[in-house]
Amino acid sequence: MKNDLSNIKKSKYLLDKNECVGIPTETVYGLAANAYSDIATSKIFRLKKRSKKNPLIVHYNNIKMLKKDCHTNDYFYKLYKKFCPGPITFVLKLKKNSNISKNVTNNKKTLAVRFPRKSIIKKLLKKLNYPLAAPSANISKNISPVSKQDVEDEFGKKIKFILDGGSSEIGLESTIISLINQPEILRLGGIEITRIKKILRSNIKYGLKKKKIASPGQEKVHYSPGIPIRLNATKAKPHEAFILIKKRKLSGKNFFYLCKNKNLKKAAKNLYKTLRMIKKKKYKNIAVEKIPNNGFGEAINDRLFRASKF
């Protein structure tokens, strides 16, 4: 606890000086900077080699602070009450007098916002008088990081500090929902669509099939380990790393369980960790057994599909 406090203070010190800091959240680790500062936010794009066209998610500790920057609506309050703090991102209308840096929004009139629930990051946000812009702490298109070590592997000494919060409990990015017009899912993630539908009691649009990309998390190649992936495999070839979700009798050492009993929440948590491990072991090919397309399985399949487009 004492250690956490001094690390939180160190993070604040660096963030106040317009530096980027690696932060833990329940979804994945983020690369954070003062969302009101042009200098600080431009560093995020440089470090991640991220296109300026790809806007950032801004992390808040409370609605009061959010209301300085965004217009809220009934959909927002309903979902906030049920799921926040937690792994859901809302796209809202940006207020004209907001202090959010133009880098964050790519000059758009909308803003993606989230309330993370991990306690160490809530404590940090409480100490700051600005919200944190924080995309995932990986070089663009790579696998998102779920531990301090993963962030170190991505950036080495290029970032000054990573706040350690252990491994990310959810292990997948947040679900992004646009609340600008009729609610529309822009990215699958930590909250299942069926749970969101229950709260809004309406049919929500699921935009991933649209041609126009509203959220670059929808790009075809993304979240990639840089190794070809073969989906819906029934057997693996000897040189392939075989990713599984249920127990099988297998010989050899080339298989990796996301879970052993089709627990898809657990599988989601282990997905990025497993892909990184396979990469470190220098496999050149990956095979994945069929994953049911329901609950968290839908988000896992979405990520694997994009990763397989390498």
Residues making contact with Mg ion (CB under 5 A) = 136
Binding partner selected for residue 186 from ligand AMP, Mg ion, none, CB under the kind-specific 5 to 8 Å limit: ligand AMP
Q: What is the DSSP letter of 162?
A: B
**Least Å distance between CB 81 and Mg ion?**
27
Binding partner selected for residue 111 from ligand AMP, Mg ion, none, CB under the kind-specific 5 to 8 Å limit: ligand AMP
Q: What is the DSSP string of 282-307?
A: T-SEEEE----SSTHHHHHHHHHHHH
Binding partner selected for residue 49 from Mg ion, ligand AMP, none, CB under the kind-specific 5 to 8 Å limit: none
Backbone dihedral region of 41: left (phi > 0), alpha (psi from -120 to 50 degrees) or beta?
Answer: alpha
Query: Does the protein bind ligand AMP through residue 110 (CB under 6 A)?
Result: yes
Q: Quick one: 207 or 297, whose CB is closer to ligand AMP?
A: 207
Out of 15, 66, 125, 176, the only residue in the binding site for ligand AMP (CB under 6 A) is 176
Which residues inside 218-277 make contact with ligand AMP, applying CB under 6 A?
none
Distances (CA, A) of 50 to 103, 228, 233, 262, 309: 11, 23, 33, 35, 19
Binding partner selected for residue 179 from ligand AMP, Mg ion, none, CB under the kind-specific 5 to 8 Å limit: none
Rg over alpha carbons for the chain, rounded to the nearest Å, is 19
Out of 25, 34, 101, 136, the only residue in the binding site for ligand AMP (CB under 6 A) is 136
Backbone dihedral region of 188: left (phi > 0), alpha (psi from -120 to 50 degrees) or beta?
Answer: beta
Side-chain-side CA neighbours of residue 241 (13 Å): 21
Tell me if the bond preceding 145 is cis, omega within 30° of 0.
no
CA gap 133, 58 in Å, rounded: 4
Out of 26, 69, 150, 173, the only residue in the binding site for ligand AMP (CB under 6 A) is 173
CA gap 154, 64 in Å, rounded: 34
CA gap 83, 244 in Å, rounded: 30
**Least Å distance between CB 246 and ligand AMP?**
29
Binding mask 193-222 for ligand AMP (x = CB under 6 A): ---------------------xxxx-----
Q: What is the DSSP letter of 81?
A: H
**Least Å distance between CB 48 and ligand AMP?**
8
Which residues inside 30-89 make contact with ligand AMP, applying CB under 6 A?
54-57
Which ranges of the chain would DSSP assign to H, the alpha helix? 2-16, 38-48, 63-66, 74-83, 102-105, 119-127, 148-155, 193-200, 264-280, 296-308
Binding partner selected for residue 188 from Mg ion, ligand AMP, none, CB under the kind-specific 5 to 8 Å limit: none
Out of 85, 87, 135, 183, the only residue in the binding site for ligand AMP (CB under 6 A) is 135
Residues that bind ligand AMP (CB under 6 A): 54-57, 91, 108, 110-112, 135-136, 173, 176, 186-187, 214-217
